[in-house]
Every structure is written in structure tokens, then in C-alpha cells.
Amino acid sequence: MTRWLCLFSLFFTLPTWASVDLIEVDKSKRRMYLIDNDQVIKEFRIALGKRPKGHKVYEGDQRTPEGRYYLDFVMDSSDFYRSIHISYPNPNDVAYADKLNVSPGGNIKIHGLKNGETRPAKYIQSFDWTDGCIAITNQEMDELLKLVKIGTPIEIRW
């Protein structure tokens, strides 16, 4: 029994030395991968904006941006259980939105469930429901914030 528990913990817990040097988001698979030294150390099922396909162009388009961004600060006050901000829009996003005479929007985050949500997390994560953010469960959000640092790059693609 003890041997089995040791093997279980080897395969299902992260080493204490693990740290994330890149986050990859595959919007088409609804997956977020935490990467350390080119190795996936954790995978999360994610929910996205209600119109997930394609790059975010303007505020209110309900799309999650695509490209390379950075985690730039933790938001202490939010409508969601814990969140970390993504550096969208970048200068290219702003220039393109200006060209179209629209606002690029912002306030894109990785966050937990909406504060006060009473439905089970498994149900909430079974469909896209954000306005463009990347949502994971509250427990996963706690884990993510232990593994990432401000400045960690995030690559988001379809």
C-alpha cells in the first residue's frame, strides 16, 4: 500500500522545484499547458470567450486574444475568484484597433469562477462563458498562482 501511494504521488503531484517558464494556450482544444524547460508540467481544461475563434480585435467582441503576451500583475479585486492579468493589448493590437476606429479592449485575465457561482465547477467549465478571458476552476487558480511569476510569457493560439 505504501509503495502504491509513493508511485501515485510521483505521477500526480508536481515536484517542489517546478516553476513555469511558459504558458501555452490551445484555444481549439480548450487547454492551457504550464511548461517548465520544454516539458508540460500541468494541463488545465479552460473556458474562453463566447466567440473563441479568431484574435480579439475590439472591446466586446467576446474573443480571447491570440499571440504572445505576458502575465503582468495579480488582480486583488475582481468579480472572479483570483485572477492574473494578461498584457493585452500590445502596441500592434492598439494600432490595428486604431486603424479600424475601435477600442481594442483590455482587462484580459486568467481567472477562476465568478464570485458567488453556485453551480459545480465541472459544469461551468463545460462551455465557453467569459467575455474574452481564460477561466479555470478556483482550485486550479490557486495552483497556477503558486507556479507562475509576473512576467511569465503566455502564447495563445487557435
pLDDT of residue 133: 95
DSSP H or E stretch at residue 94: helix 91-100
pLDDT tens digits for range 60-105:
999 999 999 999 999 878 899 999 999 999 999 999 999 999 999 9
| 35: Cβ contacts below 8 Å, ≥ 6 apart | 20, 21, 22, 23, 24, 41
pLDDT of residue 104: 96
Strands ordered across the beta sheet of 39-45: 39-45, 31-36, 22-26, 153-157, 67-75, 83-86, 109-111, 134-135
Residue ranges of domains in the chain, CATH in brackets: 17-157 (2.40.440.10)
Residues of the chain with pLDDT under 70: 1-18
CB 136 within 8 A of CB 32: yes
Give the Cβ contact number of residue 120 at 10 Å: 11
Q: Please list the active-site residues.
A: 111, 133
Give pTM, 2 decimals: 0.85
pLDDT of residue 19: 81
pLDDT of residue 78: 84
